[in-house]
Amino acid sequence: MRHGIIIVDHGSRLEPSNQMLEEVAKLFAKRFAEMHEVVEPAHMEIAEPSIATAYAKCAQRGAQRIIVCPFFLGPGKHWTGDIPRLTAEAAAKFPETSYHVTMPLGIDDLILDLLNKRANFCIDKDFTCESCRGTLRSGEKTAALS
């Protein structure tokens, strides 16, 4: 039986944010190609591809069981209500499929490792990395308050 994976985030009006999830899905698909042949990104709202679009692509690519993986940290209302509802609506058009929504990322040693990696990056760059320099994120005294 062929499985499909949908990695879903909230969706954003900021295109770089949407592109990041699409890159995560591509990297996931590449890294786990032997286990998961069908991987699609989805945005819960605001941007395409939607959950319905991603679900349809999974079904068209031969997935009979579809696993929806929320790219969210906690079990908020999107995990408890919105994502399951949107997935059920999408699945209704493909009665030959079944689906399951995974737990959100939550508390995990890998998340702790990633937080440590991010903190150490700031320390290693002496609080002056290119991503934050000149912004309020940097905490620089000269950063504009706008």
- pLDDT tens string 29-85: 999 999 999 999 999 999 999 999 999 999 999 999 999 999 999 988 999 999 999
Q: Which residues contact 61 (CB under 8 A, 6 or more apart)?
A: 4, 37, 38
On whether residue 92 sits in a domain, the answer given is yes
**Co-location of 71 and 133 in the same domain:** no
Q: How many angstroms separate the CA atoms of 11 and 5, rounded?
A: 17
On whether residue 12 sits in a domain, the answer given is yes
Q: Which pTM value belongs to this model?
A: 0.87
**Co-location of 74 and 129 in the same domain:** no
**Which residue range(s) make up the domain with 129?**
109-138
Q: How many angstroms separate the CA atoms of 36 and 128, rounded?
A: 39
On whether residue 114 sits in a domain, the answer given is yes
Q: How many angstroms separate the CA atoms of 70 and 7, rounded?
A: 6
Please write the tens of the pLDDT for every residue from 111-132. Answer: 999 999 989 988 888 777 787 7
**Co-location of 82 and 12 in the same domain:** yes
Number of domains in the chain: 2
**Co-location of 89 and 133 in the same domain:** no
Q: How many angstroms separate the CA atoms of 106 and 53, rounded?
A: 26
